[in-house]
Amino acid sequence: MCDTFVALRPATADGSVIFGKNSDREPNEAMALEFIAGRSYAAHSRVKCTYVEIPQVRRTLDVLLCRPFWMWGAEMGANQKGLVIGNEAVFTRMPVNRGQALTGMDLLRLALERAGSAEDAVETIVGLLADHGQGGLCGYTDRRMAYHNSFLMADPCDAWVLETAGDLWAAKRITDAWAISNRLTLDDGFDRSHPRLIDTARKKGWLKPNRTFSFKACYSDWFNTTFSFAATRQEGCLRIAAPPQAMQTERLDLPGALNILRNHDASGYLPASHLFMDRVCMHAANSISRGFQTTGSLVAHLTATTRTYWATGTAAPCTSIFKPLRFDAHGMPEPEPPPGAVYDEGCRWWRHERLHRSILMDYGGRMPAFAEARDALEGSFLDPFVSLAGGKKKMAPCRETFDRADELTRTWTASTTDTPVKDPPGWAYRRYWRSLNTKARMPDS
């Protein structure tokens, strides 16, 4: 389960393009934040994706990836041309291929490595779908999890949404703002589509005689789409990114984009207090109705002259700090060993998990104080960036911001783990997290 949004010039305060995504996966499914340099390949080279090997292109681009540790593909990322992409699982009436195929995450990474713009990315993914299809098991421990994909892609001038159902697809150019959250969103107003899209729906009886074709109405799987609470989360993103005209007071800016990804849609929010996956900042709570949580977050701020990416590199954006990244000599963090299946003190993602999970055990008591410290540090990163747009200051080097965020995480981890719990969540919630911690070999908190 994930949430992705984009706002273009009519919807942003500075006329930029602002893109954001929360990747929601299993709680112990660590996510790598990594930079991979482009390179040249010999003719007839091949690339090994998560499950299948396909022909490689002669030259790939530099990419920044947020990637579940066990996959080749990525949940979201950017490239040196200013292209940024996020994908979503969508549930359709078309058969799912659980065999060897390109996953949605593979398609996303391949597009970042090969495409120079949002429109190029649409054509790249559509071509890969035609040549290789999509499928494969996409869960980490849930080996039944398989799905089709939607994609939201943006560059400094343009944005597109591409939604698929098996090998069929529809795509639309975005003009103001859009959000995707685990459901098909396109009706009949798309700009491009697979040539068999409408005929297939008619032949299968999903498009009734004398009815107007709607991609989402004809192809959506009702049960999984409904009980993923995708509509609630999508509407929550759009309510902030592009509120109705009558409610607009100001357009979206960078701090507002970070707040979208931290949105719990409630004051005094407690992660143990609700049953379903209906919040954008998602915390896992049980293995049945809330078995996913946000394991990584990315925001892109794209203008004609600057392209800056803000990533947590950690789970749960409410307990994380967004740090700036750029495609230049000082714009990426010091490389770390990639995370794996169990706790590793040498990996930023797992180090942060000690803080995140200790806050969960007394969220109402521990989160407010941490949020104040988080906002102060993050604000020190954001303020020079806002000035940079006007040519006044330079941002702090990327590695410095990551070091300062790591230091705050260490300080607060020690503070929270040493502080008695005042208002613990219920027994079942604590038991669920104890089980996850044991599987991850998490140090006692």
Cα-Cα end-to-end distance for the chain: 28
Q: Is residue 133 assigned to a domain?
A: yes
Q: Given pLDDT bands bounded at 50, 70 and 90, which one contains residue 396? A: low
Q: Given pLDDT bands bounded at 50, 70 and 90, which one contains residue 390? A: very low
Q: Is residue 346 assigned to a domain?
A: no
Mean pLDDT for all residues in the chain:
93
Task: Tell me phi and psi for residue 166, to 5 degrees.
Answer: 65, -125
- Judged against a pLDDT cut of 50, whether residue 391 lies above it is answered with no
Residues 363 and 328 in one domain: no
Residues 106 and 17 in one domain: yes
Residues 418 and 322 in one domain: no
- Judged against a pLDDT cut of 60, whether residue 5 lies above it is answered with yes
Residues 370 and 221 in one domain: no
What is the model's pLDDT at position 357?
96
- Judged against a pLDDT cut of 80, whether residue 37 lies above it is answered with yes
Task: Tell me phi and psi for residue 328, to 5 degrees.
Answer: -145, -175
* Maximum pairwise Cα distance, the chain: 67
- Judged against a pLDDT cut of 60, whether residue 160 lies above it is answered with yes
Verify whether residue 281 is a known catalytic residue.
Answer: no
Using the 3D structure, point to which of 336, 368, 400 is the last residue of a domain: 336
CATH number of the domain encompassing residue 181 = 3.60.60.10
- Judged against a pLDDT cut of 80, whether residue 394 lies above it is answered with no
Q: Is residue 309 assigned to a domain?
A: yes
Q: Is residue 341 assigned to a domain?
A: no
Calpha distance 56→47 (Å, rounded) = 5
Q: Which two tokens stand for residue 130?
A: 């035609």
Q: Is residue 345 assigned to a domain?
A: no
What is the model's pLDDT at position 330?
78
Which residues is 152 bridged to in the sheet?
A: 86, 161
2, 49, 66, 281: the catalytic one is: 2
185-194, 381-390, 401-410: least confident range: 381-390
Q: Is residue 221 assigned to a domain?
A: yes
- pLDDT 10s digits, 79-114: 999 999 999 999 999 999 999 999 999 999 999 999
Q: Quickly list H helices, 338-425.
A: 348-360, 363-389, 398-418
Residues 80 and 155 in one domain: yes
Residues 327 and 429 in one domain: no
Using the 3D structure, point to which of 304, 336, 368 is the last residue of a domain: 336
What is the model's pLDDT at position 227?
87
- Judged against a pLDDT cut of 70, whether residue 316 lies above it is answered with yes
Calpha distance 29→277 (Å, rounded) = 17
- pLDDT 10s digits, 280-314: 999 999 999 999 999 999 999 999 889 999 999 99
Q: Quickly list H helices, 57-145.
A: 104-114, 118-132
Number of domains in the chain: 2
Calpha distance 288→36 (Å, rounded) = 36
Q: Is residue 344 assigned to a domain?
A: no
Q: Which one is predicted more confidently, 399 or 396? A: 399
Across 325-336, average pLDDT: 85
- Judged against a pLDDT cut of 60, whether residue 247 lies above it is answered with no
Domain span including residue 428: 358-440
Residues 149 and 51 in one domain: yes
Q: Which residue has the tokens 């997290």?
A: 433
Residues 410 and 290 in one domain: no
Residues 50 and 129 in one domain: yes
Residues 170 and 298 in one domain: yes
Q: Is residue 143 assigned to a domain?
A: yes
What is the model's pLDDT at position 249?
63
pTM exceeding the 0.85 threshold for the entire prediction: yes
- Judged against a pLDDT cut of 90, whether residue 397 lies above it is answered with no
Residues 297 and 185 in one domain: yes
- Judged against a pLDDT cut of 90, whether residue 333 lies above it is answered with no
Using the 3D structure, point to which of 301, 336, 371 is the last residue of a domain: 336
18-22, 189-193, 216-220, 242-246: least confident range: 242-246
Helix (H), strand (E) at residue 89: strand 84-90
Percent of the chain's residues with pLDDT above 90: 83
Residues 331 and 425 in one domain: no
